[in-house]
């Protein structure tokens, strides 16, 4: 019976991890973008301090995942809203299924050559557990255990005020009407 209970618990937790984001109350603690240090997949640090007052969609990505084709939709979102105060931040991670094993140069080449990615990408990061990057520790503290990343291409929408608005599992693609509507609503909201 104990083994059956553990299997049922494991199944239910993985199921929760793939369901689309559940409407949540906005987080209470804003992110301090000036304090977020992320190495770019290109050269140097990403200009995260410039994200203050913008709407940011953070996505943990992987090159060899069944959801990798979401890069195309992410790039479309970036191009549609980047001139309106929107940032799309891709954070490659090898945390799930070892599906991002490449070097910084390999990941960058893959994203640019296969999907014409122009949105900002960080260097590969840990996004779960005690060793997670501080950005993802903040995300987990705001989204809770249900909203913490469970797989590649988990998405987090952060408002102009620096507060987490919503999260979306990998099953909610970047072309979904809910993500688009949430971005438009967040862009229309007043800044920090």
Q: Which of 162, 136, 167 is nearest to 30 (CA)?
A: 162
- CA gap 113, 64 in Å, rounded: 14
- CA gap 61, 35 in Å, rounded: 22
DSSP state of 105: H
Q: What is the mean pLDDT of the chain?
A: 88
Does the active-site annotation cover 111?
no
Q: What are phi and psi of 109, to 5 degrees?
A: -60, -45
Q: What is the pLDDT of residues 93-128, one digit of tens each?
A: 999 999 999 999 999 999 999 999 999 999 999 999
Q: What's residue 184's pLDDT?
A: 97
What is the CATH T-level fold of the domain 2-188, as seen in this structure?
Answer: Glutaredoxin (3.40.30)
Q: What's residue 28's pLDDT?
A: 83
- CA gap 161, 192 in Å, rounded: 4
Which residues pair with residue 59 across a beta bridge?
90, 155
Q: What's residue 182's pLDDT?
A: 98
- CA gap 9, 13 in Å, rounded: 6
Q: What's residue 142's pLDDT?
A: 95
Which residues in the chain land under pLDDT 70?
A: 1-27, 191-192
- CA gap 13, 11 in Å, rounded: 6
Boundaries of every domain in the chain = 2-188
Which residues pair with residue 123 across a beta bridge?
none
User: The whole model's pTM is what?
Assistant: 0.86
Q: Confirm if 182 and 157 have CB atoms less than 8 A apart.
A: yes
Q: Which helix (H) or strand (E) holds 76?
A: helix 70-81
Give the SS3 label for residue 170.
coil
- CA gap 23, 36 in Å, rounded: 26
Q: What's residue 9's pLDDT?
A: 40
Q: What's residue 42's pLDDT?
A: 87
Q: Which residue out of 16, 65, 76, 140 is catalytically annotated? A: 65
Q: What's residue 27's pLDDT?
A: 54
Q: What's residue 148's pLDDT?
A: 95
């Amino acid at each position: 019976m104990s083994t059956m209970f553990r299997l049922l618990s494991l199944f239910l937790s993985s199921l929760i991890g793939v369901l689309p984001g559940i409407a949540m109350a906005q987080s209470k603690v804003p992110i301090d973008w000036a304090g977020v240090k992320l190495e770019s997949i290109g050269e140097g640090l990403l200009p995260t301090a410039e994200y203050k007052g913008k709407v940011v969609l953070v996505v943990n990505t992987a090159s060899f995942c069944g959801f990798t084709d979401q890069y195309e939709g992410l790039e479309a979102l970036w191009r549609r809203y980047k001139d309106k105060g929107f940032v799309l931040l891709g954070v490659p991670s090898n945390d799930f299924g070892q599906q991002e094993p490449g070097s910084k140069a390999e990941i960058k080449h893959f994203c640019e050559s296969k999907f014409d990615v122009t949105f900002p990408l960080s260097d590969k990061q840990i996004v779960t557990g005690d060793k997670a990057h501080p950005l993802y520790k903040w995300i987990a503290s705001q989204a809770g255990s249900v909203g913490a990343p469970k797989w590649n291409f988990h998405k987090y929408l952060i408002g102009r005020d620096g507060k987490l608005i919503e999260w979306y599992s990998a099953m909610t693609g970047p072309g979904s009407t809910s993500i688009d509507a949430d971005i438009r609503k967040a862009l229309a909201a007043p800044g920090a």
